[in-house]
Amino acid sequence: MLGPQIFPEAQPGYVCCTPYYIGVNSIFLPLIPYTLATALHDTHLEVALVLGTAFSGAIILLGPLLKLAGGYRTWPRALELAMLVVNAVLLGVSYPYPDEIAKYHNFISNSIYAAFGVLSIMFGAPFTRQYVREFVPPSAAGHDKVSRAAHVTSGGWILVFVTNTLIYLVPVCRNREQQHSHALNLVFRIILPIFLALFAAIFTRVWPLRVLNHLLRSQGFDAAPPAKMMTNPLAMTRNATALTAMATARGMGYPQQQPMILMAPPQQHHMLQYPQQQQQQQQQQQLMLMQQQQQQATVPAASYGAASATNTATATPAAGGSGFGGQQHYQHHQQLAPVWQQQQQQQLQHTQQEQALQQQLMQQQLQLRMQQQQQQHSAAGAPGPGSGPAGLPPPQQSPHVNYGNYGGSPMPTPGGTGTYIGGSGSRIG
């Protein structure tokens, strides 16, 4: 029962009679036949089963009745159908076996409901998914969090049904099931099962709001159709070649202008670079230029090959006709040849400009290095404070000077060749 429009609870000025509020609160409708059958089966078994069957059928028929009245159509739920079947079968069996059905009514009905919930989860379709989907727009009904919330709420209902099946055994084990006013019979057979079912319904109503809060306001995003992205088929050279071949095959001929490959202007290097880096850049640029030239050379060849293939496949029209034969294709190809030559010349000019700039940079580097070397030589030949005459290098000592002890201290020879040995003052050499 997915409505065409969803109204979140936080929207100001809402009206309660909307598809959203009918759908999310429909989980409380199955409590009516369940409560009647559980509360009255002890004393009025036939009345309880008749009312349970009647209300289960009325809930199912509520959708068509609302639709006929101009309202919102509520589709039947799996839980409502299960309650209708269980109450109808127990009503039929209660006539020949009234005592047994009155004694084990809760045990039979709750065990069937628990098995029904387990089977729904095993087959990948939890029965509470129909209720959880009412919280979100139809476009978000297949969200992963919707499925998880359905599994959790179905598990809560299964736990309640199993608990009601087990607590029913408390008055039976104490032999109090025939005493309607006994505390064990009232609490574990009537009151507690009804409150546990009410708790499961409230949990199914509240839990999706906490988990699916971000999907409640996704109507503007999920309901919109997906945007279509348009691409330019002539953006790439291969696409242009394919379109040219297709147009030729259909008899439309070549397009008037071939796609041009534009090169970026040469970059002016304002910083000095090492010779190795310049050589690497030159090699890369040459490779790129060779690849571009090969691509441009293959484009006319491929297109002309496609044109010739189509001309051989199709018959040439008769003389005086309006066809587009192979000779005209060849002439058109010759007309476009100067355009491709101009493109190649422009590319060669760009490469020559780049090479000229690189040569200028190399010359500037060499000049700077020569200037640096000259500055270093001029700085080395300038007269210092301890040097000789102007323009001459400072006097150098002999490399073969041997130092001795003259009076206990090393002394060089006055002549520069001999040495004084010891403290006697004798001169050798």
What is the per-residue pLDDT across 70-88, written as a single tens digit (0 to 9) for each?
A: 767 778 899 999 999 999 9
327 belongs to a structural domain: no
Q: How many domains does the chain have?
A: 1
Between CA 295 and CA 303 the distance in angstroms is 12
On average, the pLDDT of the chain sits at 72
35 belongs to a structural domain: yes
Q: Write the CA distances from 85 to 88, 233, 341, integer angstroms.
A: 5, 62, 87
Q: Model confidence over 19-56: pLDDT tens digits?
A: 677 778 889 999 999 999 999 988 899 999 999 999 99
215 belongs to a structural domain: yes
Q: Taking the C-alpha atoms of 75, 79, 85 and 89 in order, what is their torsion angle to the nearest 10 degrees?
A: -160
Q: Residue 138: what pLDDT?
A: 81
How many CB atoms sit inside 10 A of residue 136's CB?
26
23 belongs to a structural domain: yes
Q: In terms of pLDDT, which residue wins out, 153 or 216?
A: 153
Between CA 81 and CA 145 the distance in angstroms is 26
pLDDT, average across residues 392-414: 46
230 belongs to a structural domain: no
Q: How far apart are the first and last CA of the chain?
A: 127
Helices 275-313, 237-249: axis angle to 10 degrees equals 10
Q: In terms of pLDDT, which residue wins out, 221 or 85?
A: 85
CB 334 within 8 A of CB 327: no
- Domain span holding position 69: 19-222
Q: Taking the C-alpha atoms of 182, 185, 187 and 192 in order, what is their torsion angle to the nearest 10 degrees?
A: -160
107 belongs to a structural domain: yes
CB 315 within 8 A of CB 297: no
169 three-class SS: helix
Tokens of 362: 């190399």
186 belongs to a structural domain: yes
DSSP structural state of residue 107: H
Q: Residue 329: what pLDDT?
A: 52
Instruction: Say if strands 427-428 and 419-420 run parallel, antiparallel, or are unpaired.
Output: antiparallel
Q: Write the CA distances from 311 to 196, 251, 328, 372, integer angstroms.
A: 83, 9, 11, 71
Q: Taking the C-alpha atoms of 257, 263, 264 and 270 in order, what is their torsion angle to the nearest 10 degrees?
A: -150
CB 41 within 8 A of CB 48: yes
Between CA 169 and CA 5 the distance in angstroms is 47
Q: Residue 351: what pLDDT?
A: 84
Phi and psi for 62 in degrees, rounded to 5? -65, -35
276 belongs to a structural domain: no
Least confident residue range of 92-101, 111-120, 201-210, 219-228: 219-228
